[in-house]
Amino acid sequence: MESERYFSGEIVVVLADGSRRSARVTADEILEVDKEIYRVFFEQGAETKVAESEEDFFEALKNLRHDLEKTGALLHCFGASENVYPSGMQKSMGPAILAYRMHIGSPALRKDIVNIFDADQTVVPSTVEQQKQFHERWIKSLSGKA
């Protein structure tokens, strides 16, 4: 079994009361004989969580976010931002560590590509469902059906 680390760093967590705390996050691709596993490890104080997906890192991050949402916590990173979502090609041709920042009514451009574990002041922390709904609105806005 081999593994490759794609990310290791701090991500801010927005707690239910609005306060913020840092968490240590690592993202590893585990290569087994017959499959790839995308693992996101989360550590905040004494609390640790592991989320996995056989699809990609974006899905593993969504699994972690579902778990954090049970306590009202949201991650402050591009992969958890309302207006960020990977394209089909980013998901099918790689580990989906990159995604597009979307703008209603405008197609995503190369300059809109971000790393899902990075963050800046434009991140809009959201639930998995809010992010999905924004993505659906964005798709409709491109066809004039927004």
143's tokens: 């066809």
For residue 144, count other CB atoms closer than 10 A to its CB.
7
Between helix 128-142 and helix 57-69 the angle, nearest 10°, is 130
Q: Which of 31-35, 75-79, 141-145 is most confident?
A: 75-79
Nearest to 86 by CA among 124, 52, 58: 58
Residue 139 CB partners (closer than 8 Å, separation 6+): none
Please provide residue 132's backbone torsions phi and psi, each rounded to the nearest 5 degrees: -60, -45
Contact assessment for residue 68 and residue 13, using Cβ atoms and an 8 Å cutoff: yes
Q: Which of 34-38, 91-95, 127-131 has the lowest mean pLDDT?
A: 91-95
Give the β-pairing of 113-115 and 47-53.
unpaired
pLDDT surpassing 60 at residue 71:
yes
**95-128: pLDDT as tens digits:** 999 999 999 999 999 999 999 999 999 999 999 9
What average pLDDT does the segment 52-67 reach? Answer: 97
Model confidence at 92: pLDDT above 90: no
Q: pLDDT at residue 137 above 70? A: yes
Question: Using 50, 70 and 90 to split pLDDT, how confident is the model at 74?
Answer: very high
Q: Which of 43, 44, 10 is nearest to 118 (CA)?
A: 10
**C-beta of residue 12 within 8 angstroms of C-beta of residue 20:** yes
Given a cut of 90, is residue 33 above it in pLDDT?
no
Q: What is the pTM of this model?
A: 0.94
Output the pLDDT for position 144: 66
Mean model confidence pLDDT for the chain: 95
Distance CA 72, CA 50 (A): 18
Residue 87 confidence (pLDDT) above 80? yes
